[in-house]
Amino acid sequence: MAAASASASSAAIPNPSSAFSTASSTTRSPLSILRPSFSFSLRPSPRQSLQISCSTNSKSTAAASPSVITIDSSHSIPRFSPDEPRKGADILVEALEREGVTDVFAYPGGASMEIHQALTRSRTIRNVLPRHEQGGVFAAEGYARSSGKPGVCIATSGPGATNLVSGLADALLDSVPLVAITGQVPRRMIGTDAFQETPIVEVTRSITKHNYLVLDVDDIPRVVKEAFHLATSGRPGPVLIDIPKDIQQQLAVPDWECEMKLPGYLARLPKPPCQSNLEVITRFISESKKPVLYVGGGCLNSSQELSKFVELTGIPVASTLMGLGAFPVSDELSLSMLGMHGTVYANYAVEHSDLLLAFGVRFDDRVTGKLEAFASRAKIVHIDIDPAEIGKNKQPHASVCGDVKLALQGINELLESKDSKSKLDFKAWREELNEQKMKYPLTYKTFGEAIPPQHAIQVLDELTNGEAIISTGVGQHQMWAAQHYKYKKPRQWLTSAGLGAMGFGLPAAMGAAVANPGAVVVDIDGDGSFIMNVQELATIRVENLPVKIMLLNNQHLGMVVQWEDRFYKANRAHTYLGDPSRESEIFPNMLKFAEACGIPASRVTRIADLRAAIQKMLDTPGPYLLDVIVPHQEHVLPMIPSGGSFKDVITEGDGRTKY
C-alpha cells in the first residue's frame, strides 16, 4: 500500500479512480477503511492544496505523470551500500540528510524510538532535544523563520503528536516552511484505541498544508521528497508525516530515484507574472498622487527588489506585523507598522491614499479593522502567491497571482525602461506624511524611577545597533517590540502573528540560535508568555545557546488588562499572575527558574540602572535572563479598537485613567 496523505484544501490529484481518502477518525479497524476521493473539495476552504490520497500503484501513477521533479541527493553521506536493506527509520533519516537537513528538534517516545536510534547513526544531523514537544515545534519555526530553510521537528504518537498542534497551526497562518514527523502505533493497532494512539492525520487535517500517513516503507523516500517540496514551494506551510512503528522497523532497500507524484499541485503553482498585468500596475502608479505600499510576510524573500522599487518610485512603505524588516524601518520612506497598533501616520497614509499596493499580504482583520472603511478612497493592487487570498477579504482593482519577487523584478524593469523615476513626483504626498510623523510620533510617558517597557526596547535597539534577531511571546511586549525596535533586514523578527500563540518567544529564539550561530538572539518576552515554555531554559543551557531573554515583567496578562481598562471598567477577571496574598513581591521569582538551569540572571527595577543591566546581558557569554520590572498600567498605543476604522484611533491614556 502507498502512503496515505491528507490536506486542508481543494483537490489537486485529478484521477479519482486511482486515489482514495483515508477513513475518518471514527473508523474502527486495524487499517483505516478507504473511501473514494474526488477532484473537488467537499467543503469550502480558503487554501488550495491536496486531498487525502492513497495510491495503490505508485509506479504506474508516477509513470503516467508528466509533472515530476527529481531532487539531487549528491550531498548526503551514505551509511549503507546501495543494495543493503536497512530499517525504515534509517531510510527516513537518510532522506532528511538528502534534503539538506542538519538540525532537528525531536523529543523521543515509544512510537518514535526507532527514529531516534537512527538519528544517533547520522553523521550530519544534530538533534536539539527540547523539553516539551511544543517547545520543539516552536523552535523549528524559529529556525525556519530566521533562516528561510524548512524547520524539522519530531515527536512520538498520542500526546507527543497532539503537543505539536499549536505550532502547526501557527506555521500555517504565518506561512512558515515546516516538516513535522510523528511516530504512530503499528499498522495493525491503528483504530483500536491503542496506548498513545491519536489519529494525528485527522487532527491536523485543517492546520497543515498537507499531511501523510505512511503505510508502505517503500514510500518513505518519495513522501519525504514531496513533503519538503510542498513545505517550501508556492505559499510555504507545514507538512506532517505520520509513520507507524512497524514501518520504522521494516527492512527495505530505498529507491532514491523515485519521482514525486504531485501532478495537480505542480500544475496549480503560480506561473511567472503576465507582462500586461504588470503594465496595468505601472499605469496605476503613474496616474496616482497618493500611493502607499502595504507589505507583508510575502515580501521577506524579495527585500532587494522591494528596496529597488521604492528607490525608483519614492512610494512610502507601511508594513504588517509579519512584514517587519522586509524594508528597513529606519528608512525615511518607512511608515513602520500599520493596523490595530500601527503608527498613526501609517494608518493615515492608507486612509488618504488613492492607490494601495498590497504586496504579499492577506488583508488580515488586525490590519484592516472595518473592511468597508479600509483604503476606501484607493484603487487596490494585490500581489500574492496564494490565489485563495486574492479578493478573499478586499476586492482589488488589479491583481497578480504569483511570486512577489518575480512581479517586483518585472515592474522594476518596466519602470527603468520608461525612466519613470524622473516622471513620478510624490514629494507633496511624502511631505504630508512627514507632517503626520511629526504630529503623532510613537511616544510614552515616564513615571519616576519606573521603567517604561518601550524605553527598555529602545535601549536594546541602541545597544545592538538594530541588528539582533528578536523573538517575542504574544501580548503588549510583542507590540512594543514591533513598534520600537528598528529592524534593518528580513528574518530578524520572529513572532506568532496570525495565531498569537503565547509561549512562542523562548523556543523560537532557541531555534534561531541554532540556525544562526554567532548572531545576537534576544527573546523579548512577557511574564505570562515566558512561563508557558519556561522548561526550554534547560535546553538552552545544555546546548549552550547564547539566547538573551529580556523579560518585561508586569505581573499581569498585560494586553487583556489593557482591554479590561478600556472596555470593562478595569474589572480584573483572572489577569493578575502574581500571588494575591503577597502583592508587594514579584511572583514567581523568574531568577530562580534561571538559577535552576544554571543560567546567569539579574533583575532591574530602576530606569537609571537599565542601560547597564542590558549591556551586561549582552556582554555575558552564553544564555542570560534579565528580569525587567515594568508597570502594569502601561497601554500599547496607538490603538484602533477591533472592528474600528482610522477615525476611531486612540492615542492617549493608560491604566491610570478611568474610562
Quick one: DSSP state of residue 355? E
CA dist., res. 567 & res. 583, Å (int): 25
* Cα angle: 160, vertex 164, 170; to 5 degrees: 175
* Of 260, 559, 590, 617, catalytic: 559
* Of 87, 245, 405, 548, catalytic: 245
- Secondary structure E strands in 78-209: 86-87, 103-106, 126-127, 151-155, 178-184
Contact partners, residue 271, CB within 8 Å, separation at least 6: 402
CB 198 within 8 A of CB 157: yes
CB 520 within 8 A of CB 507: no
> In the numeric block, which cell numbers belong to residue 342?
500601527
For the question of residue 245 being annotated catalytic, the response is: yes
* Of 99, 133, 141, 226, catalytic: 133
CA dist., res. 24 & res. 29, Å (int): 11
Cα 329 to Cα 75, 303, 487, distances in angstroms:
38, 12, 6
Cα 309 to Cα 171, 279, 314, 325, 401, distances in angstroms:
29, 14, 8, 16, 19
CA dist., res. 237 & res. 46, Å (int): 14
Question: Considering Cα of 76, then 79, then 81, then 83, what sign does the dihedral take?
Answer: negative
Question: Considering Cα of 399, then 272, then 145, then 157, what sign does the dihedral take?
Answer: positive
For the question of residue 87 being annotated catalytic, the response is: no
- Secondary structure E strands in 540-623: 547-553, 601-604
> In the numeric block, which cell numbers belong to residue 79?
551509511
For the question of residue 559 being annotated catalytic, the response is: yes
Cα 115 to Cα 43, 91, 167, 324, 602, distances in angstroms:
36, 10, 21, 37, 40
For the question of residue 479 being annotated catalytic, the response is: no
**N- to C-terminal Cα separation, the chain:** 65
CB 262 within 8 A of CB 19: no
CB 105 within 8 A of CB 288: no
For the question of residue 189 being annotated catalytic, the response is: no
> Which is nearest to 549 in space by CA: 451, 617, 498, 635?
617
* Of 117, 149, 196, 249, catalytic: 196
Quick one: DSSP state of residue 272? P
Pairing of the two strands 238-244 and 210-213: parallel
Contact partners, residue 524, CB within 8 Å, separation at least 6: 457, 460, 470, 471, 472, 477, 478, 480, 481, 485, 505, 550, 552
As beta bridge partners, residue 547 has 521
Residues annotated as catalytic are: 133, 195-196, 245, 559
